[in-house]
A = this chain, B = another copy of it.
Amino acid sequence: MEQIAGGVTAAKGFMAAHTAAGIKYQSRDDMALIFSEQPCVVAGTFTRNVVKAAPVKWDQQIVHDSPYAQAVVINAGIANACTGQEGMGYCQQTADCAAQLLGISPDAVLVASTGVIGMQLPMERLESGIRGMAPQLAATLEAGSGAAKAIMTTDTHKKEAAVSFTVDGKTVTVGGMSKGSGMIHPNMCTMLAFVTTDLAISKELLQEALSRVVEDTYNMISVDGDTSTNDTCVLLANGMAGNAQITERNQDYEAFVEALLEVNRTLAKMMAGDGEGATALFEVRVIHATTKPEAVTLAKSVVTSSLTKAAIYGHDANWGRILCALGYSGVTFDPEAVDLYFESVNGRLKIIEDGVATDYSEEEATRILTADAVTAICDMKQGTAEATAWGCDLTYDYVKINADYRS
């Protein structure tokens, strides 16, 4: 497997376009279109929030019922959530408009929205956005990057990743883009992520691979503990790599899962590190836990602790808050067995041994914690299970961004 440049247009036969439709943001792109030359097998994972945005319901139906998908229309600025029947109608209109221009069926068009909850979409602007994008579709990396920029909301940079690997003598590519900065606590997957591949694979295995990978990537990140109404991750496979279709869980399937994991982990970490107001990516690695679910629960409890996140922002080795967050996670363990390490590009330091502080240097700890990416390693010394979660620090800017997001 090799990391390569690009995002949704990296795989063969995928094109993208983007435009400034003026949906809510002014003077910036706010719509993107993804199109595949060939019909795609499609898999998806969606928010488990009871309150589901209209595009989530639309896409769930496409993934479940449509024989294939071929295009995705995305807008930033308005989430089309809590918009009732009117909101569902807008999904249909969007799909109809794109389908007509692209010469495909409306039930091959996925839609996705992100932004403010509760406002209705300005359909005229959305439709003229689609009409503007259709003739501009291009298979270039630039077109993919432009699409990745267009779907941002409070994100500070675009999020793309791609890898290539070999199946059946053919080069296969997996590429994707995502956005997400606030209301990030995926339970599926929060945020929007779009992944494309030219692999030939059965629908059943495509969905299985995606569901498996999402557990260890998007479902392990949190910016603020708020699971969105719009979380969507769709994976399109158009088969244009020319490999014999994968229909069983063989070595090729595992190679694909590994590539998919790499792309989605990269996108997930980018999202966590670019959490609203964040100054640092905060990684929590729980090792030697009793079971995998317990390791997951422990890691998530630390990564979502407001007090721990504020301490990371202050570069303060306030390890008591980490032990405390492990303790209230709901998992039973022996607090007097726990070791804790802080690690970054600036070094690695053992802070707690057997539940009490080592004689560590606060100065050295602060130096480690001033890096852009900081890891806490919690050694439970109980078993062999492990899990990694990603989040970010809690800053003034998080409060600022969210105290007046709508105004």
Chain A interface (Cβ < 8 Å from any Cβ of B): 47-52, 79, 81-84, 116-118, 182-183, 185, 187, 224-229, 304-307, 310-311, 313-314, 316, 318-321, 323-329, 331-333, 335-336, 352, 355-357, 394-396, 398-407
Contact = CB atoms under 8 A, between A and B. Distances in A.
A83 B405 CA distance: 43
Copies in the complex: 2
5 contacts: A50-B335, A183-B324, A224-B307, A229-B324, A394-B399
Given A324-B51, A407-B316, A304 B225 contact: yes
Given A313-B403, A314-B404, A399-B396, A356 B324 contact: no
A338 B336 CA distance: 47
A300 B118 CA distance: 22
A51 B307 contact: no
Nearest to A226: B307
Contacts of A52: 327, 335
Top 9 closest A-B pairs, CB basis? A117-B320, A314-B403, A51-B327, A310-B402, A227-B328, A49-B327, A50-B327, A224-B306, A51-B335
Given A84-B356, A187-B328, 18 more contacts: A81-B320, A82-B352, A84-B336, A117-B323, A183-B321, A225-B305, A226-B328, A228-B324, A229-B324, A306-B306, A306-B402, A311-B403, A314-B403, A316-B406, A316-B407, A318-B406, A396-B399, A396-B400
Given A224-B306, A306-B224, A311 B402 contact: yes
Contact of A48 (B79, B328, B394, B401): B328
A83 B356 contact: yes
Contacts of A318: 117, 405-406
Nearest to A312: B403
Contact of A82 (B83, B187, B310, B356): B356
B323 A82 contact: yes
Contacts of A332: 50
Nearest to A83: B356
Contact of A399 (B320, B395, B404): B395
A306 B84 contact: no
Contacts of A228: 324
A118 B405 contact: no
Contacts of A325: 226
A317 to B, nearest CB: 8
A318 B355 CA distance: 42
A324 B352 CA distance: 38
Contacts of A79: 320
| Max chain B C-beta neighbours (<10 A), residue from A116, A316, A402, A404 | A402
A304 B224 CA distance: 10
A226 B323 contact: no
A398 B311 CA distance: 11
A71 to B, nearest CB: 28
A221 to B, nearest CB: 15
A118 B357 contact: yes
B82 A321 contact: no
Contacts of A187: 328
Contact of A396 (B227, B328, B396): B396
Given A51-B324, A116-B320, A183-B324, A310 B398 contact: yes
A337 B357 CA distance: 52
A277 to B, nearest CB: 9
Contacts of A333: 50
A381 to B, nearest CB: 14
B310 A403 contact: yes
A320 B118 contact: yes
Contacts of A226: 305-307, 321, 324-325, 328
B331 A50 contact: yes
